[in-house]
Amino acid sequence: MIKFTLKCDQDHQFESWFGSSDDFEKVKSAGHVSCPNCGSEAVEKTLMAPPVRTARKAKQSAELQKAKTEAEKAIAAMRKEVETNSEYVGMNFAKEARSMHDGETEARSIYGEAKLEDAKALIDEGVPVAPLPFVPKRKTN
């Protein structure tokens, strides 16, 4: 698909996608190209500047991808560490964390899920909790 910059006889510019230059001409000659502003069918292609990827942009993109990959690796390692050394308590996280903090149950490493208001309440109560940068596996596709 090619994005063409088009202009009508009333000087309105707009863009549209076509399979090729020939496709544009076929659709235009069939009367199916009109200006979205005024409805004029006197539409022509105008000069257009295709997006050009400069060396600087390519380098920035590569650096960003590398940083993203490193961050993804770090998150994956953290996930493995948490899942290996902690107990998943699901939606009971707030209850379990509060119970351990209050000394009602034995302290252990846990992770799970909590509603935002429940997490805020835990923090307000001084229960040491922190969000994890990944979604529990049961919620992934």
Work out whether the CA dihedral 118, 120, 123, 125 comes out positive or negative: negative
Please tell me the chain's helix, strand, coil percentages from 3-state DSSP, rounded to the nearest 5: 45, 15, 40
**How much of the chain, in percent, has pLDDT values that exceed 70?**
95
Q: Domain ranges in the chain?
A: 2-45, 54-82, 86-135
Q: How far is CA 80 from CA 9, 67, 75, in A?
A: 63, 20, 9
Mean pLDDT throughout 24-48?
Answer: 91
CA neighbor of 40 nearest in space, from 6, 5, 16, 3: 6
CA 129 vs. chain centroid, Å, equals 26
**Statement: residue 37 has pLDDT above 70:** yes
